[in-house]
Chains A and B, each alone.
Chain A
Amino acid sequence: MLEIKDLYVNAGEKEILKGINLKINKGEIHVIMGPNGSGKTTTANAILNNPEYQKKQGSIIFDGTDITDLKTDEIARKGVFMSFQLPEEIPGVTVANFLKYAKNKITGKPVKVFQFKDELKKYAKELKIKEETLERSLNVGFSGGEKKKNEILQMLVLNPKLAILDETDSGLDVDAIKTVSKGIEMFKNDENGVLIITHNTKILHSLKVDYVHILVDGKIVKTGTQELASEIEENGYEKYRKG
């Protein structure tokens, strides 16, 4: 479904990704782990082609299409979703209206209002998001946990083919992590994929994953299964750092 080939990415003058290769098939959950500054968030942003990052080399293929240089919205409409580490606040636009508009854009057709509302309420309930939150301005005055849960809500409603979750678990308490994991489980099926980006292993306690990749200094240095995450939890990244 997603294939990243030999990807080099700069942020300004600085070289961040130095030849990433990654393949995600449908039905799989992948995790990229790595210390701070290793290029995890850059990887997520590069897939969505955030103009703040410049691709120097390599390509990204999604569902058979080269999306390397497509605009962010085009990539989103092809079915790639990213949950943000720090979601933006949009005053004057309610969560419900925002999602209805986004759903229209993603699907390219008007949503059925009542069906949409029911679906939204159902997912909100599962994620323990209060119904009145849906009528509040998007992310404005939300706590860290509320923002993260809201990102998961968006993922469920927009129902992408590939969901990239950037540091979705950071700064969350145990209960919130459980809720987020539940959201991911609800989303997951044989036809879609998930890429979780994290610097710790907390979320992996309540979620079963297929592959774990260790990202250090802009390169994937090791790929394994869930046991690799346990090893990192015990010993840290030291072993994989250069020199």
Chain B
Amino acid sequence: MSKTQIEDINRNIYDIKNKDEYDYKIQKGLTKEIIEELSKQKQDPDWMREFRLKALDVYNQLKLPTWGPDLSELDMDEIATYVRPKTKMSNNWNDVPDDIKETFDKLGIPEAEKTSLAGVGAQYDSEVVYHSMKEDLIKQGVIYTDMETAVREYPELVKEHFMKCVPVHDHKFVALHGAVWSGGSFVYVPKGVKVDIPLQSYFRLNSPESGQFEHTLIIVDEGASLHFIEGCSAPKYNKVNLHAGCVELYVKDNAYLRYSTIENWSKNMLNLNTKKAIVGKNAQVDWVSGSFGSKISMLYPMSILNGEGSKTEFTGISFAGKGQNLDNGFKVVHNAKNTSSVVNAKSISKDGGTCTYRSLVRINENAKNSKSVVSCESLMLDDISKSDTIPVNDIRTDEVEFSHEAKIGKISDKTIFYLMSRGMSEEDAKAMIVRGFAYPISKELPVEYAVEMNNLINLELEGAIG
């Protein structure tokens, strides 16, 4: 019986490369002069310029992390940190240049907006080129804009929150981010406002050797609710690309935020993204995360449950193919009474890919009567792929309920035979098993993303469709 060939995904629609055309690209490497130049280009207020320079100092002092995947291939001097596309921001799709528009068209951004999304902020390289939001949200006082505009127009809100949730000392890439951040989204949902349709942003990297350091800052004020969707994609290049974005979420008392991500970076990307939420009294943040792309990913969203009765749920899946090392996971700190966290993490690896689930559950002494339930499951599609689970559980009080369950499995020949006896080819059978395995995650995604995820799985498993 012949072996199934599981080919690389057909990336045609993701690999649309535009001519590397830009009107400004700063010199390679990172110095004080570069940061000042960048700051000037971005017309930063003084406080932001100073912030960047301080972050640069921290960056220079910190070392690369040594506990995770090998990052030695990363040479920061090789990465131009700032690429500005040949356009100014626009809120009219027709004003966006044709080649950029074509790329977004192929990714289906405007269609998505037309159908069900409340607003779209698409980031092309480092600046947001397209932005819009439905009228009624604006009337309710919802702010959804790019980060630069927020710095200029909402200085108080930004100053109070910017890199307070994720301080620049956290790790080297956060410090780097603080120094060179560019673009990203800012969302403010006023007290009691329920945004009942999702807001979406789409990030995309086009220029070779450019880093992407977008900053996402979301404030969901007391009693308000929001679903934010972040989608990421990058075409393929030979040189290493770095993504060191930062996401800061403030979920105030009694508020709710769901943050969904589908990442499908090209397979030379180093995705070293930092995401953190601070959760108030009786508030809840839910993370839904699908990680398919990147060469190396180190991604550990974190919830800090500061308010009594606050909750968090993490639902995530990673899919590592050939040459991919996805070191993903979740961190939670229970820092008040009656808090709860639920983690449901899954990973799939094939063709020698590596998936690691790395996590932290910390329940502080003051977090009496709290609860944490962690479940992680891995599926390996062949004998050369790897899967690992590295949980750290730091429980500092007895009055908690805590459980951690980890399972690692393979698709058995018996299961394949069973499905084939029902008329499915071996590829169909594997795809069905994997879709079923991923179902608890995909059912949490908005329908068009669930469809996209199933398509990604099918493409990964059924081979490139000629």
Contact = CB atoms under 8 A, between A and B. Distances in A.
Interface of A: 48, 50-52, 71-73, 76-77, 81-82, 84, 87-88, 90-93, 98, 101-102, 105-106, 137, 154, 158
A162 to B, nearest CB: 12
Interface in B27-50: none
Interface in B431-454: 432-433, 435-440
A91 B417 contact: no
Given A73-B426, A88-B414, 9 more contacts: A71-B420, A72-B420, A90-B415, A90-B419, A92-B436, A92-B440, A98-B432, A102-B423, A154-B422
A90 B425 contact: no
Interface string B38-81: 00000000000000000000000000000000000000000000
A91 B437 contact: yes
Closest 3 pairs (CB-CB, A-B) = A92-B436, A92-B439, A105-B423
Interface in B389-436: 412-415, 417-426, 428, 432-433, 435-436
Contact of A76 (B413, B415, B420, B432): B420
Contacts of B415: 88, 90
B454 to A, nearest CB: 11
Nearest to B443: A92
A102 B418 contact: no
B1 interface: yes
Contacts of B437: 91-92
Contacts of A87: 418
Nearest to B441: A92
A72 B439 contact: no
A93 B428 CA distance: 13
Given A71-B1, A92-B437, A102 B422 contact: yes
7 contacts: A51-B413, A71-B426, A76-B421, A76-B422, A90-B419, A92-B437, A102-B422
Contacts, number: 75
A126 to B, nearest CB: 20
A92 B441 CA distance: 10
A1 to B, nearest CB: 18
A220 B294 CA distance: 59
A145 to B, nearest CB: 19
A88 B418 contact: yes
Nearest to B377: A91
Given A51-B1, A92-B440, A106 B422 contact: yes
Interface residues of B, number: 24
Interface string B5-34: 000000000000000000000000000000
A173 B1 CA distance: 39
A77 B419 CA distance: 12
Nearest to A104: B423
Given A51-B417, A52-B413, A92-B437, A73 B424 contact: yes
B421 A48 contact: yes
Most buried by B among A48, A50, A98: A50
A105 B1 CA distance: 20
Given A51-B1, A52-B413, A73-B425, A90 B420 contact: no
B436 A72 contact: no
B420 A93 contact: no
Contact of B439 (A71, A76, A93): A93
Contacts of A50: 417
B432 to A, nearest CB: 6
Nearest to B433: A90
Contact of A105 (B413, B414, B418, B422): B422
A73 B438 contact: no
Nearest to B432: A93
A202 B439 CA distance: 40
Contacts of A93: 432-433, 435-436, 439
B3 to A, nearest CB: 11
A91 B435 CA distance: 9
Most buried by B among A87, A91, A106, A154: A91
B432 A90 contact: yes
B346 to A, nearest CB: 10
B433 A72 contact: no
A208 B426 CA distance: 37
A167 to B, nearest CB: 15
B414 A101 contact: no
Most buried by A among B417, B438, B440: B417
A77 B424 CA distance: 9
A74 to B, nearest CB: 9
B443 to A, nearest CB: 9
A90 B421 contact: no
A53 to B, nearest CB: 10
A72 B432 contact: no
Contacts of A48: 417, 421
A105 B439 contact: no
A165 to B, nearest CB: 13
Most buried by A among B419, B423, B440: B423
Nearest to A52: B413
A105 B421 contact: no
Contacts of A76: 420-423
A48 B1 CA distance: 13
A73 B416 CA distance: 10
A149 B435 CA distance: 25
B158 to A, nearest CB: 42
A137 to B, nearest CB: 7
B455 to A, nearest CB: 16
Contacts of B419: 88, 90
Nearest to A105: B423
Given A52-B413, A91-B437, A101 B432 contact: yes
A149 B420 CA distance: 20
B1 to A, nearest CB: 5
A71 B412 CA distance: 17
Contacts of A51: 1, 413, 417
A81 to B, nearest CB: 7
B426 to A, nearest CB: 7
A48 B419 CA distance: 12
A5 to B, nearest CB: 22
A72 B425 CA distance: 8
